[in-house]
Amino acid sequence: MRNLIIALGLILSITFTSCQKQEVRPQIEIVEEAGTIDETISVFGDWLLVGGTMYMENLETGEKTSYSHFDANKTVSSLRYSGWMYDIERLVVDSTTWSFVAPPNIPNTGEFYLNGNTTQPYGFHLTTSNMSIVENSTGPQQMGGSARPISAYLNGVPNQANFYVQEAYESINGVNYKYFSELTFEKI
């Protein structure tokens, strides 16, 4: 089963590397064991952003498209279609880092560091089947009072994983859309 998932991930990542409109694949959520992506790599530790794609669905027509967050001329992007409002939504390829610190037990909340900032950590809530980046309960609001549920899977490249994040709904030019991002991170 693991080899099938890895092969599927590799085929799909090759299929979705173009900047042109493409059909969106359904969100895949695989949690083998709390804190791991598959049985071979732990989510805990430091990750460097190396790529990403935004998947969109027009809720009126059902049309599904995808767009690359980055290309040769674009190194900064946003998890939010209309531009970032919070630091966690700002993406810089080969610069943005996510760091996950394990909670003392599961379910519980550990810490999440954005770009190595340990003075204002976010929370990292982990259960046996869900992971979320959450507001720090003792500091200022970092995400407008919300959480960012995430899921992850291996993409067939050693030391890399794809993270799904930021499922949102937005009206764009009077048309309602649902979208989320798939971000490719490399373990550092």
Query: What's the pLDDT tens digit per position in 131-157?
Result: 999 998 776 778 877 889 999 998 889
pLDDT tens digits, residue range 24-72? 333 333 344 566 666 668 899 999 999 999 999 999 999 999 999 999 9
Cβ 55 vs Cβ 19: under 8 Å:
no
Distance between CA atoms of residues 75 and 95, nearest Å: 9
Q: Is the pTM of this model over 0.85?
A: no
List, for residues 90-123, the tens digit of each pLDDT value.
Answer: 999 999 999 999 999 989 999 999 999 999 999 9
What residues does each domain of the chain span?
Answer: 2-187
Rounded to the nearest 5 degrees, what angle is found at the Cα of 183, between the Cα atoms of 74 and 178? 90
